[in-house]
Amino acid sequence: MRHKRSIPNRGFRIADQIQRDLAELIRELKDPRIGLVTLHLVEVTPDYAHAKVYFSVLVGDAKECETALNEAAGYLRNGLFKRLSIHTVPTLHFLFDRTTERAAELNALIQEANATRAKED
């Protein structure tokens, strides 16, 4: 019983470690298409075969960055092999996360609505 509960926790710990290590490895990449990247979430499949890495870009083109990161996925995975002490290092799949972008858009709309309401008052 106790063993079953520790399995999900292990998955979260590994995903968290992958996220931290990837952030360092990505900073070392020399590809100009990769701008200022922030990793938001790493989701690892239960068998550790695949990991979805959700990111946003502060500076740079999101689509080009996503392409470049996915092209560098094999190199980054090899870097993880050297850093992680797990038997299977997952295949990496990078996905642009628009959450931050959408939040900024909504914030701008709210500020605009508040400014309009202030003028009407």
Q: How many domains does the chain have?
A: 1
The distance of Cα 66 from the centroid of its chain, to the nearest Å, equals 10
What does the H/E/C string look like for 33-92? CCCEEEEEEEEECCCCCEEEEEEEEEECCHHHHHHHHHHCHHHHHHHHHHHCCCCCCCEE
* Cα-based distances in Å from 44 to 6, 14, 81: 15, 8, 15
Say what the pLDDT of residue 1 is. Answer: 42
- pLDDT bracket for residue 50 (50, 70, 90): very high
Angle between helices 73-83 and 62-71 (to 10 degrees): 60
C-alpha angle with apex 74: 73 to 79, nearest 5 degrees?
95
| Interval 82-108 mean pLDDT | 86
| Interval 103-107 mean pLDDT | 79
Q: Is the pLDDT of residue 28 over 80?
A: yes
Tens digit of pLDDT for each residue in 31-44? 999 999 999 999 99
Query: Cβ-count burial of 27 within 10 angstroms (0-12 exposed, 13-18 middle, 19+ buried)?
Result: exposed
- Residue 104's domain comprises 2-120
What CATH number is attached to the domain comprising 32? 3.30.300.20
